[in-house]
Amino acid sequence: MKQGWNHDRFFIVPCTVLYCVRDFLHLLWEMPHTARLTCRAFPAFWKGRWIMIKLTLKDGSIRELEAPTAAAEVIKGIGMGLYKASCCVKLDGEVCDLRTVIDHDCTFEVMTFDSEEGKKTFWHTASHVLAQAVKHLYPEAKLAIGPAIDTGFYYDFDVEHPFSQEELTKIEAEMKKIVKANEKLEQFYLSPEEAVAKLKGMDEPYKVELCEEHAGNGEPISFYQQGDFTDLCAGPHLMSTGTIKAFKLLSCTGAYWRGSEKNKMLSRVYAVAFPKASMLEEHLAKLEEAKKRDHNKLGRELEYFTTVDVIGQGLPVLLPKGARVVQLLQRWVEDVEQAHGCLLTKTPLLAKRELYKISGHWDHYLDGMFVLGDPHDETKDCFALRPMTCPFQYQVYLNRQRSYRDLPMRLTETSTLFRNEDSGEMHGLIRVRQFTISEGHYILRPDQLEDEFKNCLQLAKYFLDTVGLLDDCTFRFSQWDPANPGNKYEGTPEQWEEAQRVMGNILDHLGVKYEIGIDEAAFYGPKLDIQYKNVFGKEDTLVTIQIDMLLAERFGMYYKDKDGQKKLPYIIHRTSLGCYERTLAYMIEHFGGAMPLWIAPEQVRLVPIADRHLDFAYEVKKELEAAGLRVEVDSRAEKVGWKIRQATMEKVPYMLTVGDKECEEKTVAVRKRNGEDLGSMTVAELTAKLVEEVRTKQK
C-alpha cells in the first residue's frame, strides 16, 4: 500500500458525488415544468437545496443572491460609495447589523447617517470608542451602559470622581488615537454561562448584572470587540472605528445606576459624533443657540419658575409670570372645551389602593405612584396620589344608570397628577413629578368612536397651533407588543388586534401621517401620541389620544341601548393641550421667551420720563386694564433708555413712553420689543389695536 493512501476516501468520495447528483435530479424533477423550462441559470446549491435569494430594494428593484451573503458584501456590490456611507441595514423593516448574513427573501434598505437608524448605529459605535478610551486611561473604571440617544450618546462609568473638563479633553485625545487606528469591530457570541464568567473575569459588575438578567432565556449573549476592548452589546455597529471622523464630549453629570436613587451614582459622559468635521461644527453652533433658548435657563432668567432643593427634584415652583401664563392657558382650554360639549369635573388628588386595583394601575403602574402607607399590608388602609384621573372620572358616569341617549359623555378636568419619575429623567418643566394636564375621558357608543376621535384630534391641533407648536409636532401610533416580557398589557390578543385595527382605520381616514411605536401603548389600549422636541432634540409627548376597549368592563360601566340590552361603551382617554408645565417650557423655547401678546404675563409697560408724568401714566394704565390688558408702570427713578432696555430684556411686548407732549395731547409713544417704533397713538387707538391682537391670538 502506497504512503498517504486512504482506503476510506476511495469509497466515500464517489458515493458523495453520486448522492449529490441524485439529489439534484430529484429536485429538478419536482420543480414545476415551467420553472424548469424558464430557468436561465443554476442558482447556488446550499444546504441541499437550490435557492436564489431575492432582495427587494427601496426603489422596488430586485437584487438576487446566489448564496447567503453578509449585508456589507451586498452593499459593496451595489456601490463602494454607498458602502462607505452605510451604518446599518433594514431587513423586512428590522434594523440589523452590516454583518448580518441574509439567507432568505426580504426587503433590503441601506441606512446611512442621514437616517435616524443610521445615526443611532453611528453614535452607538462612538460610545464604544469612548468606553475604550476611558478604560485605556482609567483601567479601574467600571462600565455601565452606553446607548445612543436622540441627540448623540452617553456612557455611564463607575469612577471615584466625576470627570473634569481637563480629563474629558484627555479622553477625547485617546479617542482620536482609536479612530485613527481604524479598529475593526467584530461580533461574537457566548453561552449565558460563558458570558457571565467572562464578564466576571473582566471585573465588570454592572455588565454581569445585565448579562444575568438575559441569561434566563438560554439564548447566546452578544459581544463586540475592537482591538483590546470588548463590550457586552447586541449592536448594531459600524464596521470599524475609522468612520467616526469628528466627535465632542459635551459634559459629565451624575446619574444613578438604572435611574434609581437607591443605587450608586455614576458619572455620565454626554457626547456627539459625526462622519464629517463640518457637521460637528454646525451642530456645536446650533447647540450654542439652543442654550440661549433653553427654558431651563431662559425660564429662570425671565422668572417664570424656580426649583428649591428642600422642596425636591421634579417639583418646580411657578413664579408669578409662569403662574399667570398657566392660568391663562387653563381658562382658555376650559372655555373652548365647554363650547365643544365637555362637562367639567373636579375629583380628589388621592384614593385608596382599591380604586387603582379595579383600574389595573396597582398591578401595572405601582412603581410610578407615590404611595401613602404600606402597599403590601392589606390589613390597613393605603392611599396613593393619582397618576391619572380616569378611574376618578368614571365615578361620574357610574353615579346613575346611563342610556344610549346619554352618550357621548365628554368628561374633562384640569387635573393635577403625580408620577414618581426617575431622578435621572428630571428636566426643568418638561419632566416633573407633579404636573397639571387638560385631561378628558369621552364615554361613547362604538358607532360614535370615529367622529369623537376626530373631534379630539382637531381640538388638540387647534390648541397646539394657537400656541405656536403644531408645525414642529410629529405623530406616533403607539401599539402593544404581544411579546412584552413584563406582562405589561391587559386584555386578549383579539381585543388588541381589534382596537389597533379600528384606530389604524380612523387615522388613515383622517389622513394622519404617523410612525408606529411598538410596545409604547398604554396597558389598556393603543394611542396616538403627538410628539415635540425641545431645543436640544430630546423628544417628549405633548398630547395623547387613546382608545380603550377594556376598562369599562372592569368598572361595570354599562349603558342601556336602544334594544334594551346592557352594553359596554368605548372610552377615549385624551388630553387637549397636555401638560401645562411642559407646554409652558416649549413655548418659552419656541418664542425665545418673547410670548405672543395674548398670553404674555405682562403685555404693556408704561415708561414715564419724569415723576410729573406718573399721574397720566396711571390714568393710561387704568384705561388699558379696563379693556382686559395686563399693564405695569415703571416708576423707578432711572433714565428712560435704561427702563426701555430692561423692558426689552424682559420680553414685554409693548412699551409706552409718556412725557410732556404725551400728557398734553393725551397720547402715548408706542414701541415694540423688537425695536419697531409705532409712533404716537391715542389711548383709544392703542386699546383697539391691542384688544384685536389678543382676540385673534396672533403669534
pLDDT of residue 52: 85
The answer as to whether 47 is a domain residue is: no
Running DSSP on this structure, what letter comes out for residue 175? Answer: H
- Domain check: are 143 and 213 in the same one? yes
Q: How confident is the model at residue 51 (pLDDT cuts 50, 70, 90)?
A: low
Write the pLDDT tens digit of every residue in 645-657.
Answer: 999 999 999 999 9
Average pLDDT of the chain, as a whole number: 90
> What are the binding residues for Zn(2+)?
390, 441, 573
The answer as to whether 362 is a domain residue is: no
For residue 76, give the CATH number of its domain. 3.10.20.30
- Candidate ranges 11-15, 492-496, 607-611; pick with highest mean pLDDT: 607-611
CB atoms near residue 219 (< 10 Å) = 11
pLDDT of residue 48: 46
Domain that holds residue 63: 53-112
Write the pLDDT tens digit of every residue in 367-421.
Answer: 899 999 999 999 999 999 999 999 999 999 999 999 999 999 999 999 999 999 8
- Domain check: are 613 and 670 in the same one? yes
Residue 34 predicted with pLDDT over 80 = no
Instruction: Please say which residue of 91, 112, 133 terminates a domain.
Output: 112
For residue 133, give the CATH number of its domain. 3.30.980.10
In the structure grid, which three cell numbers stand for residue 19, read together? 448522492
pLDDT of residue 9: 43
The answer as to whether 366 is a domain residue is: no
Cα–Cα dist 598/332, whole Å: 11
- Domain check: are 487 and 579 in the same one? yes
Q: CA 335 → CA 66, 332, 339, 388, 626, distances in Å?
A: 67, 5, 6, 22, 21
pLDDT of residue 50: 53
- Domain check: are 322 and 442 in the same one? yes
pLDDT of residue 487: 63
Q: CA 47 → CA 27, 64, 102, distances in Å?
A: 13, 18, 15
The answer as to whether 372 is a domain residue is: no
pLDDT of residue 219: 87
pLDDT of residue 625: 98
> What are the binding residues?
390, 441, 573
Share of the chain above pLDDT 90, in %: 80
pLDDT of residue 492: 86
- Domain check: are 240 and 167 in the same one? yes
Q: How many domains does the chain have?
A: 4
The answer as to whether 268 is a domain residue is: yes
Q: How confident is the model at residue 30 (pLDDT cuts 50, 70, 90)?
A: very low
- Domain check: are 99 and 134 in the same one? no
- Domain check: are 146 and 193 in the same one? yes
Cβ-based burial of 134 (10 A; exposed 0-12, middle 13-18, buried ≥19): buried
Residue 246 predicted with pLDDT over 60 = yes
pLDDT of residue 184: 95
The answer as to whether 397 is a domain residue is: yes
Write the pLDDT tens digit of every residue in 519-548.
Answer: 999 888 999 999 999 998 889 999 999 999
- Domain check: are 108 and 179 in the same one? no
Mean pLDDT of 560-585: 96
Write the pLDDT tens digit of every residue in 163-203.
Answer: 999 999 999 999 999 999 999 999 999 999 999 999 999 99
pLDDT of residue 490: 83
Residue 507 predicted with pLDDT over 50 = yes
- Domain check: are 129 and 233 in the same one? yes
- The amino acid occupying position 360 is G
- The amino acid occupying position 98 is L
**Where is pLDDT greater, at 143 or 489?**
143
pLDDT of residue 423: 74
